[in-house]
């Protein structure tokens, strides 16, 4: 299903030039325990305290509801005491009064619970809103290194599933825990005042419920963890199959995928069956305990009533308390694992919030206005993991308006050079200058507006083609967008689409070929009209004829602009003013095509290996 976001600027691009291979394992498996439960809980409480008055009102209503729940059995017993067994009479006036009072208590409790539910829900949703907003804002300030070293799916899960888990679990268990504790305390106090012996009989449920909960939880926990693990595997397989369905069909692997799906699905069925079977034992066995305590209370109450003069109303009250007392115990026991899971999810969310942001702009940072595009690298070194160097003492100077090509084998450091130039990363040592000014002296957002970027992996956003081209210049008119598409040689294929420039596209749909998507990205860069142009394998997905058309179009685009071209297809960079040959993090050769061919060095070997013979190469 296609989606449209009316304002493209609201969509956050992932067009940073990232080194490949990012994405680590999920270090937080489902059901994992929090490392610092107390500290995490205090942080959640601190967030909740932003709505302290509302929380206090909810707690007050919870306490009031618990008090009413505890007192209802007491007055039910009083109502029974209006019957005089010996004289076989009933005090009708008092009975009616008690009945109306009990009805009023039930009605009041229903109103309080309904109001409390609304308040709790609103606070819960405010928490979700606040956490998601803070996490999403934080994500805009994190360096690309954060995304390079973490699974994108795991990051998405934290901002969606984990935040939901925190809000629904903590909001509900907070009131439920308060209600359960107050109900236990209130019931215990009233029972003690009514009769000590019957109180001891009711308290027998505590060790029985505790033992039952411990046994059920120990057996079901492992199966629930296996269920979550298998569910994750199944979701991953389905996602991979949808995204890679063409490859599955192309290599005839449908049967293998079906067999793998059957295996995981079978494991999921078994673990789910065992988990829910063990969990299903809880309520029947709880009913057994409740009925046992109810029976023991009834027998004991009957004996005390007949032989020791205990009122029937008191026995009836205790029968209600015997049913009521076990439920909070079960709720408290059941909440433990739920709270543990919520705290583990909260730690995952807080890990993002605690991650180190990009270094702030210096106080004297300036706007990068009217730059000419002169670029200097002065003895720059860099490594992604601070151990394996990617660039080693790289130095070069590019004049404003010069076209520079970066060539070399995969992993040599070509993309890293432009990553540093755009300040997606900062060098470990050395300095980078634009127009003689260190790039750290410019405000980041202002600096990045000085670059027009086209990547090998084209990023499109949900919206129309017009929206996607206009993304680089939101105030551009339709005529300017169309003109940019014409320069990029995208206008012809766009015009042939059923809805033209208003055709809906997204980052995941296949209604456009990779080459067409790249042409849209080039049109976006044309519209941007920035002083420095970066083309990272920008024509890798188009055919030879289209590539030549684009190259002719880019001649006018690169005019009076400093341009950095990264390409493995060496025919695309022959006309560059200078060519830098990058190998193992160093620039080993520099010059134009003719001079480098005469040197017969690394560049010469690369050209000959691609062209096939010297005549074609020259």
The string of pLDDT tens digits covering residues 46-57 is: 887 888 888 888
pLDDT of residue 334: 64
SS3 of residue 390 by DSSP: coil
Please report, rounded to a whole number, the percentage of residues in the chain having pLDDT higher than 70: 84
Please report, rounded to a whole number, the percentage of residues in the chain having pLDDT higher than 90: 8
Q: Round the CA-based radius of gyration of the chain to a whole number and report it.
A: 35
* pTM of structure: 0.64
- The rounded distance, in Å, linking the Cα atoms of 36 and 411 is 40
Q: Is the pLDDT of residue 508 over 70?
A: no
Q: Is the pLDDT of residue 376 over 90?
A: yes
Residues 361, 367, 372, 376: what is their CA dihedral angle, to the nearest 10 degrees? -10
pLDDT of residue 29: 40
Q: Share the mean pLDDT of the chain.
A: 79
* Residues 528-543: tens digit of each pLDDT: 878 888 888 776 666 7
pLDDT of residue 179: 78
pLDDT-derived band at 553 (thresholds 50, 70, 90) equals low
- The rounded distance, in Å, linking the Cα atoms of 139 and 350 is 12
**Strands 403-407, 578-583: parallel, antiparallel or unpaired by DSSP?**
parallel
Residue 529 — left, alpha, or beta (φ > 0 → left; ψ -120 to 50 → alpha)?
left
List the structure tokens of 123: 């606070």
SS3 of residue 53 by DSSP: helix
Q: Are 579 and 552 in contact (CB under 8 A)?
A: no
pLDDT of residue 151: 63
Most confident of 12-21, 312-321, 413-422: 413-422
Q: Is the pLDDT of residue 100 over 80?
A: yes
Residue 398 φ then ψ, to 5°: -120, 125
Q: Which residue has the higher pLDDT, 421 or 157?
A: 421
List the structure tokens of 542: 């188009």
Residue 16 φ then ψ, to 5°: -65, 140
């Amino acid at each position: 299903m296609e989606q449209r976001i009316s304002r493209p600027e609201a969509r956050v691009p992932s067009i940073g030039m990232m080194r490949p291979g990012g994405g680590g394992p999920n270090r937080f498996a489902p059901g994992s325990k929090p490392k610092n439960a107390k500290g995490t809980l205090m942080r959640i409480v601190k967030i909740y305290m932003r709505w302290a008055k509302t929380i206090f009102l909810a707690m007050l209503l919870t306490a009031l509801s618990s008090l009413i729940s505890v007192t209802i059995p007491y007055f039910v017993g009083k109502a029974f005491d209006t019957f005089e067994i010996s004289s076989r009479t009933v005090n009708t006036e008092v009975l009616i009064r008690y009945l109306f009072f009990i009805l009023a208590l039930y009605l009041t409790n229903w109103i309080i619970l309904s109001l409390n539910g609304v308040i709790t829900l609103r606070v819960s949703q405010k928490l979700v809103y606040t956490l998601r907003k803070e996490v999403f804002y934080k994500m805009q300030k994190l360096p690309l290194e954060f995304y390079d070293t973490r699974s994108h799916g795991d990051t998405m899960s934290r901002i969606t599933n984990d935040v939901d888990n925190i809000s629904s679990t903590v909001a509900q268990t907070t009131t439920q825990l308060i209600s359960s504790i107050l109900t236990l305390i209130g019931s215990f106090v009233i029972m003690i005042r009514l009769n000590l012996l019957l109180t001891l009989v009711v308290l027998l449920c505590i060790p029985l419920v505790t033992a039952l909960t411990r046994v059920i939880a120990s057996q079901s926990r492992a199966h629930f963890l296996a269920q979550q693990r298998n569910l994750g595997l199944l979701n991953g397989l389905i996602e991979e199959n949808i995204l890679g369905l063409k490859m599955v069909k192309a290599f005839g692997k449908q049967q293998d995928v079906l067999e793998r799906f059957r295996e995981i699905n079978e494991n999921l069925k078994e673990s789910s069956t065992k988990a829910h079977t063990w969990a299903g034992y809880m309520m029947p066995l709880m009913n057994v305990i409740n009925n046992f305590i109810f029976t023991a209370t009834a027998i004991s109450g009957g004996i005390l009533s007949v032989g020791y003069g205990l009122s029937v109303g008191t026995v009836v009250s205790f029968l209600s308390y015997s049913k009521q007392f076990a439920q909070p115990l079960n709720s408290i026991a059941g909440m433990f694992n739920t709270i543990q899971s919520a705290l583990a999810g909260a730690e995952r969310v807080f890990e993002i919030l605690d991650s180190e942001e990009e270094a702030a702009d210096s106080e004297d940072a300036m706007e990068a206005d009217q730059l000419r595009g002169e670029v200097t690298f002065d003895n720059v070194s860099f490594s992604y993991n601070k151990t394996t160097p990617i660039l080693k003492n790289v130095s070069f100077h590019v004049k404003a308006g010069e076209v520079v090509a970066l060539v070399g084998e995969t992993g040599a450091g070509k993309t890293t050079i432009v990553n540093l130039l755009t300040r997606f990363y900062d060098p470990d040592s050395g300095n980078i200058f634009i127009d003689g000014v260190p790039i750290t002296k410019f405000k980041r957002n202002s600096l990045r507006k000085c670059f027009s970027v086209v990547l090998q992996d084209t990023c499109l956003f949900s919206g129309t083609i017009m929206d996607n081209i206009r993304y680089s210049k939101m105030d551009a008119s339709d005529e300017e967008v169309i003109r940019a598409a014409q320069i990029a040689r995208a206008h012809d294929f766009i015009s042939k689409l059923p809805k033209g420039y208003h055709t809906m596209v997204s980052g995941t749909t296949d209604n456009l070929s990779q080459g067409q998507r790249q042409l849209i990205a080039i049109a976006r860069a044309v519209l941007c009209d920035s002083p420095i142009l970066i083309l990272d394998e920008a024509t890798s997905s188009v055919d030879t004829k289209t590539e030549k058309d684009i190259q002719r179009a880019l001649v006018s685009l690169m005019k009076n602009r400093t341009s950095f071209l990264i390409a493995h297809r060496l025919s695309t960079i022959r006309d560059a003013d200078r060519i830098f040959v990058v190998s193992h993090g160093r620039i080993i050769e520099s010059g134009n095509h003719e001079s480098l061919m005469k040197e017969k060095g690394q560049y010469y070997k690369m050209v000959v290996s691609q062209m096939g013979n010297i005549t074609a190469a020259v």
